[in-house]
Copies of this chain bind each other. A is one copy, B any other.
């Protein structure tokens, strides 16, 4: 095969790259990692399906074929794909909007959502639109994840209490919980609270204990990861032994045994229309989450991931989920870290995990009959509370009030109006605040630092200036949002200043002048000309100058363009005189 075709194929099928060097050593590493991730993934996939409002087996199905698809198309060597908490919550919110009651219709909507999300990701990947994810600022993501964690934990409290509760935002959820608190099933609550406590203890206390008992660190780690599996096993046994299901403890019940079914998404265009925005949000949030984990892990091994190919990998996973009875999936944070720490060398580890989950679907499902839902909810609560991190509020408050406003708004809106409004408004707010900031740029009147060729702000430094010369350093690119600001600023400064003969705009920090700003410069030039003042530019960057040369402005300008501000001062101040600003 010619080298070029092979390279192009390798770009779209990263499996061809790593498969070439696959050997027994990488196989062993991948197998060990796969076993550990499988142990972790079984209870998680059941629990997240529950969170999404779907039958438990759909969680298992979403953890089989999608993992194989990612192993073929994905570029991260450590990313573990599958159902994750935030996307499961978003799935519940998306289908909740439809008002579907029938479980079969609900499942079909979830499958369709996975399909749409997969197609969106694939299209974004082929068109290389990965940069769109950059419009989600870090503070907005952090705020969104924290608020989602709170929403998820709150939504699971009903299973801990064994009561009914509904809602897609914190207020609805709390009101609904409060109303039904009288129906609490005390046995369920005991199970739920015990498992939650146990899992927290496993997280914090078990590993040090095992290490203290002389166990090898590796083994201690695996045992600690198996905590949720132990909780599942013990609560199944207890429920079965004491017939707790007849005493009001809600159980998972029948989980079909066998390989994932072949499913087809709905091709009803009305449904597509209703789900499209949700699918888009799920795709972007899933992608952002997944890529940031993948990048962090790749960096540790000096590897690179290709964001646009990641879109294709995740897109393929979601389409795979849609045709095999799953629901939207993405790369999970905790799971990928475990996979990495356990020594996964290639995406094959994910394929081996898929085999593990397939075995579970084939063999273990009858054992899950007596599994209390409270156990799964406890698993979710313990997992998502680690997502809740309000420190971003503190950091942004200290560093930048604008970022703080974006985080605070995202958290509040997500809690109050749910995930979809929360994250979209968060993005809109951060874009708006960015534009607002740049619409009122910092403009400094500068003068020469004596004995140097440097120019500094007259308000911060002792510099020399001259009455006939005004130099303004504009600390921002000039574009439509600040074009009229510049005009107003110059007019306000020069009005009534009768000694002024020359105005220099120092453009060292101007990276762009768009057409609106060009119009403003022309207006300033005309206005100053009427007042008998010349307009000059200095330190204009190459690309900006190239563009200005394509307009009439440079010909119409009353003054000159100076390469350096020092040249401008030398040329425009023939009779040196200085005043030291206060």
Contacts and interface: CB of A to CB of B under 8 A. Distances in A.
Interface of A: 131, 134-140, 299, 302, 304, 395-396, 398-400, 402-403, 430-431, 434-442, 453-454, 457, 460, 475-477, 479-485, 491, 495, 508-512, 514-516, 518-519, 523, 527, 530-531, 541-543, 547, 550-551, 564
Contact of A479 (B140, B399, B434): B434
Q: Which of A438, A453, A454 has most B Cβ within 10 Å?
A: A438
B135 A481 contact: yes
Contacts of A519: 138
Contacts of A527: 299
B138 A480 contact: yes
Given A480-B136, A509-B509, A402 B514 contact: yes
A133 to B, nearest CB: 8
Given A131-B439, A134-B439, A485-B134, A550 B399 contact: yes
Given A435-B431, A480-B134, A304 B491 contact: yes
Contacts of A511: 441-442, 475-476, 509
19 contacts: A134-B439, A134-B481, A134-B482, A135-B435, A137-B480, A139-B515, A299-B523, A299-B527, A398-B550, A399-B515, A399-B518, A399-B550, A402-B514, A403-B516, A434-B435, A434-B480, A434-B481, A441-B511, A508-B509
A475 B484 CA distance: 23
A515 B138 contact: yes
A378 B33 CA distance: 79
A502 B519 CA distance: 42
A485 B550 CA distance: 29
Copies in the complex: 2
A475 B202 CA distance: 50
A551 B516 contact: no
A395 B509 contact: no
A547 B509 contact: no
Contacts of A541: 475, 509
A516 B138 contact: yes
A102 B501 CA distance: 64
A400 B515 contact: yes
Contact of A542 (B396, B460, B480): B460
A522 to B, nearest CB: 11
Contacts of A479: 137, 434
B137 A514 contact: yes
A475 B476 CA distance: 10
Contacts of A135: 435, 439, 480-481
Nearest to A507: B509
A442 B551 CA distance: 22
A523 B442 CA distance: 28
Q: Which of A431, A453, A564 has most B Cβ within 10 Å?
A: A431
A284 to B, nearest CB: 14
Contacts of A477: 438, 476-477
A400 B442 CA distance: 25
A134 B512 contact: no
Contacts of A436: 131
